[in-house]
Amino acid sequence: LAEVSASRGESAYVVDVGPFHLASIVECLGSKALVADEMARLTGRSYYAGIAQDTIAMAVNDLITVGATPLVVQAYWAAGGSEWFADAQRAQALVAGWQAACERCGVAWGGGETPALAGIVEPGRIDLAAACTGIVRPRSRLSLGEALGPGDAIVLLASSGIHANGLSLARKLAERLPQGYLTAIAPGVSYGEALLAPTLLYPPVTEALAAAGVPVHYAANITGHGWRKLLRHPKPLGYRVHSVPPVPPVLEFIAREAGHDAAEAYGTFNMGAGFALFVPGDEAERCAAVARTAGVAAWVAGCVETGPKRLVIEPLGVVYESDALVLR
């Protein structure tokens, strides 16, 4: 058993066990459940099936960046009191959504922990997290960026909306809106409903790419820090984007109402791209086609260049220098 040191600082931790690698990750949902709680109060509906998918997505979408196939997910549901689970509609929606997301990703739900943390978690609230273990097999699937270099293509996978990052700002914005979460942002769609669109699950795409023999040199889950996540790898490379995907209406709405320019919006939110794949240039179109067949819209959006390290989004006139991304 040996640590794969290059995985330190990446989205998942990897160990070498000989015939294959193992990868692991733990992620929490954050504050999106607060939006679900408020929308339940306003509409009488439960949104916890989608919240369950969001929580699993936070873990599995990070795990697959290193080339891993997710195997087992563990749940951590910490409630402010045992009465949280007495709401049958809400609890059943959480369980059903969790199981459905596991099935979509082909992972086993290995159980977990459901503590009642009165005095730590507020009454009526729940803190959700997921841990995931995966396998990198064959070993050649490991994608920590060793092969990343000039000439590689950047393929972006669509998002469903805000996903689960940027919700603190989105919640503050709701406080300023005359109708709050019930504000219409599109015909028949409220702000709250749009915020609660479940995060897309990307493991079906990466598994389809592996089955098709499309090599992935590197991958980035576009979460916090928005498109600045394209600068994640430490190599002194440049990244040039020549086309951007459509922006989901909810993110257009937030950027407009918050007064964000393009640099601030794309440096904060996913703006329609939830995941980035860096593949050989001659595999770019096939990569995008495989993703679409797996059910996720995809675009060949740019390329990797020689340094200096920076991200240039040409259609927007936005440039992020190497110091624009600082990760904890």
List the beta bridge partners of residue 156: 276, 299
Residue with the two structure tokens 């498109």: 227
Q: How far is CA 203 from CA 14, 32, 107, in A?
A: 17, 22, 10
Residue with the two structure tokens 């984007």: 241
CA angle 143, 230, 5 (to 5 degrees): 40
Q: DSSP letters along 223-269, please? A: BTBGGGGGG-S-S-EEEEE---PPPPHHHHHHHHHHT--HHHHHTTS
Tens-digit pLDDT profile for residues 280-309? 999 999 999 999 999 999 999 999 999 899
Q: DSSP letters along 6-62, please? A: GGTTSSSEEEE-SSSEEEEEEEE--THHHHHHHHHHHHS---HHHHHHHHHHHHHHH
Q: In this predicted structure, what is the pLDDT of residue 262?
A: 97
Q: In this predicted structure, what is the pLDDT of residue 328?
A: 60
Q: In this predicted structure, what is the pLDDT of residue 127?
A: 97
Token code pair at residue 16: 């070498």
CATH entry, 2-141, from 3.30.110.40, 3.30.1330.10, 3.40.50.1970, 3.30.479.30: 3.30.1330.10
May I ask the CATH class of domain 153-324? alpha beta
Q: In this predicted structure, what is the pLDDT of residue 232?
A: 95
Distance CA 118, CA 27 (A): 22
Q: In this predicted structure, what is the pLDDT of residue 326?
A: 83
Which of 193, 197, 201, 101 is CA-nearest to residue 157? 201
Same topology between domain 2-141 and domain 153-324: no
Tell me if 129 sits within 8 A of 114, measured CB to CB.
no
Distance CA 15, CA 185 (A): 46
125-136: buried (b, 16+ CB within 10 Å) or exposed (e) per residue?
bbbbbbbbbbbb
Please give the distance of CA 154 from its chain centroid, rounded to a whole number.
17
Query: Domain coordinates of the chain in residue numbers?
Result: 2-141, 153-324
Q: In this predicted structure, what is the pLDDT of residue 327?
A: 79
Low-confidence ranges of the chain (pLDDT < 70): 328
